[in-house]
Amino acid sequence: MSFRKILLFALLLSCALPVLRTQEQSPPTIRTNSSDDIILRPIPGEVIILAAADVQPASAEKSGELAEAIKTFNQVLWDDLSFSGFFTMAGKSFYPPYPIVRAEDIKYEDWSALPFKVTYLTAGTLDLNGGVLRAELRIFDMKQHVMSFGQRIGGDTDQVRAVAHRWADEIVYRLTAGTSMGIARTKIAYSSRRGNAKEIYVMDYDGYNQQAFTHNGSNNLFPNWGAENSHLAFVSFRTGKPEINIYSYKDGSRVAFPMFNTFASTPAISPDGARVVFSLRTPRGDADLFVSNLDGSDRRNITNNPAIDTSPTWAPSGRQIAFASDRAGGSSQIFICDSDGSNVQRIMKEGGDADSPAWSPDGKWLAFHWKPHLSTNYDIYIAEIGSGKIRQLTNSGGSDESPAWSPDGRHIAFQSNRNGTPQIYIMLLDGSQLRMITSQGSNTSPAWGGYFRRESDN
């Protein structure tokens, strides 16, 4: 692709982006192999209509910096709450025209006059003073006319987004009665080419705050998170051959995983954080799946098959592994086996070409990408473990690959080249709330991190 074409695409993209963010994509044509519909989006007992009033400045003094912060906060909060999929967001054009800060600012009779009944309302203030950002936020129960809960959140002046994410997570947690933790503070690791090399980057789930994790100027691929984000494993060509690299995410130190100087790929750390499964070349010349400790000791071949075995993923129980293999003749298919390699079962009866399986956090689904043989583009599918029911999740004109589950099991991240170069997309499982979250360079292979265990929560 010529440079000009790329530039044109980038321009088009930047124009299209705001449209993409606010509009919902129409649901994809469903391709199922059974008549009963699979419910993908569990909703709480009743529909929650949530109104998010703009936060106000805490004091009368006008500052450009504070105005910027407020604008960002309101936008981020809105996006986080919409993306959670738990709420029907009440459009701001309907709100009474006066600012809401304290409980006494809410005139319930004005809200009752709306064409819909708002269930909850969030409002609050933001203050920027002496290098400290302070937010004071509340959720009001619009039926009971009381404050349900509130929080004072503080941070540095450059942490507006983090503070908004924190509040969004608190709202999701409280309004789902603690059954679901919000994902607004989760991270996505991915492989990014911005020049000659592909480095591993980590970003906020919404695409902001992109930070390079590797800096070795070679190709770094297929990142994988350890349990509770303790580690990041990936494949690196920094020595010239594809080797497994495992780093602590807490302090960035490298785990002494051995180098094989042949071919090692697609690492996946077990749910208990003690073992890692990966693809490794055997003396035969093919690639088998091996399991070892995190430091490489006690290594066992669990597939021992002359076919190519790659792309393993653990079940959350740690007792099963799903992987891709061409042992069934020709193209790559998805299989499941026990963690010792026994009891191999094939997932899909159809032929075609499938890879990159990802096990859902509740253990019930496998996401993967699949295409009928010899067509050019993959789409994302999910298969129900046990029943084998298949559901198609994407149906774009491009190739959608490499799915990753959010830790709440309700969202998917994947890479797609539907708009030109491959970029990372996120969406709810039913295809709504689709967002493109990268745009610079070529971005592939997303891995969605888990919840962080935080001492700052109380």
Partner 1 sequence: MKRTILFCLLLALMSGGPSARAGTKEDLMRLSADVLALQNQLRELDKAYGEKIEGLRSLIVQLNDQVAKTNMLVNKVSTALDNQASGGRSNDQALLQEIRAISTKMDDSATRISALAQQIADLKVQAKSINQEPAGGANQGFSADTLYKQAYQDLISGNFGLATEEFTDYLKRFPTGSMAAAAQSSIGEAYYSQNKFPEAIAAFSRVISDYASSDKVATALFKRGRARLAMQDTENAISDFKDVTKMYPTAPETDLAKIELQTLGTGANKPKPPVRKTR
Partner 2 sequence: MRRTRYSLVVIALFALSLLITLTGCHKKVAPPPPAPTKTETPAPPLAVAPAPTVSLTVSPDAIEAGQSTTLSWTSSNATNVTIDNGVGTVESSGKRTVSPSASTTYQARATGAGGNTVAQARVTVTAPQPAVIPTVNPTVSDALFFEQNIKDAYFDYDQYNIRPDAQSALQADARALNQRPGIRITIEGHCDERGSEKYNLALGDRRANAAKDFLVGLGISAGRVDTVSYGKEKNECEAHTEECWQKNRRAHVVMR
Instruction: List residues near partner 1 by CB under 8 A.
Output: 58-59, 101-104, 127, 129-132, 134, 136, 138, 144-147, 149-156, 159, 162-163, 166, 170, 211-217, 238, 247-254, 452, 454-458
Min dist. Cβ of residue 226 to partner 1 (A) = 13
Measured CA to CA, the distance from residue 94 to residue 89 in angstroms comes to 11
**Distance in angstroms (rounded) separating the CA atoms of residues 335 and 328:** 10
| Closest to 354 in 3D by CA, of 336, 371, 330 | 371
Chain mean position to CA 37: 25
Per partner kind, with CB cut-offs from 5 to 8 A, the member of partner 1, partner 2, none near residue 332 is: partner 2
Give the bridge partners for 345, in sequence order.
336
279 binds partner 2 (CB under 8 A): yes
Helix, strand, coil abundance in the chain, percent, nearest 5: 15, 35, 45
For partner 2, the binding residue among 224, 266, 320, 433 (CB under 8 A) is: 266
Q: Which of 45, 64, 115, 240 binds partner 2 (CB under 8 A)?
A: 240
Please report how close the Cβ of residue 39 comes to partner 1 at its closest, in angstroms. 34
- Which of these ranges, 25-33, 61-69, 157-165, 374-382, lies near partner 2 under the rule CB under 8 A? 374-382
Q: Is 367 in the site for partner 2 (CB under 8 A)?
A: no
Query: Using the rule CB under 8 A, is 286 a contact of partner 2?
Result: yes
List Cβ neighbours of 335 (8 Å cut-off, separation of 6 or more): 322, 323, 324, 325, 327, 344, 345, 346, 347
Q: Yes or no: say if 413 and 400 are a contact pair by the CB < 8 Å rule.
A: no
Cβ of residue 340: shortest distance to partner 1, in angstroms? Answer: 34
Residue closer to partner 2 by CB (options 77, 276) is 276
Cβ within 8 Å of residue 283, ≥6 positions away: none
Q: Is 326 in the site for partner 2 (CB under 8 A)?
A: yes
Q: Which of 144, 138, 245, 149 is nearest to 189 (CA)?
A: 245
User: Binding to partner 2 by residue 219, rule CB under 8 A?
Assistant: yes
Cα distance between residue 142 and residue 50, in whole Å? 10
440 binds, among partner 2, partner 1, none (CB under 5 to 8 A by kind): none
Phi, psi of 155, rounded to the nearest 5 degrees: -170, -175
The verdict on 206 binding partner 2 (CB under 8 A) reads no
Residues that bind partner 2 (CB under 8 A): 1, 198, 219, 221-222, 235, 240-242, 262-263, 265-266, 279, 281, 285-287, 308, 310-311, 324, 326, 330-332, 353, 355-356, 369, 374, 376, 378, 401-402, 444-445
